Structure 1
Amino acid sequence: MLRRYVDLYDDFKDCDEIEVIGFGFNGDDGHINGLFRSLIEDKDKVVHIFQHNSGTMKKNKRQCTEYYQRKLRLSSSKDLKIYSIDDNRFVNGEIWYKSILN
Structure 2
Amino acid sequence: MLVHPSLPPLHHLPDSLPLDGAVRIELESGVPIFRASATVQNRIVMLLEKQQLEALTELEEQELDAYEEIDDYLSFVNRTIRNLAVAPNSQG
Q: What's the TM-score, normalizing by structure 2?
A: 0.27
Structure with greater Cα Rg:
2
Q: Which has the higher contact order (CA 8 A, sep 6+)?
A: 2
Please state which structure has a larger fraction of its residues in helix.
Answer: 2
Q: TM-score w.r.t. structure 1 length?
A: 0.25
Of Structure 1 and Structure 2, the greater strand share is in: 1
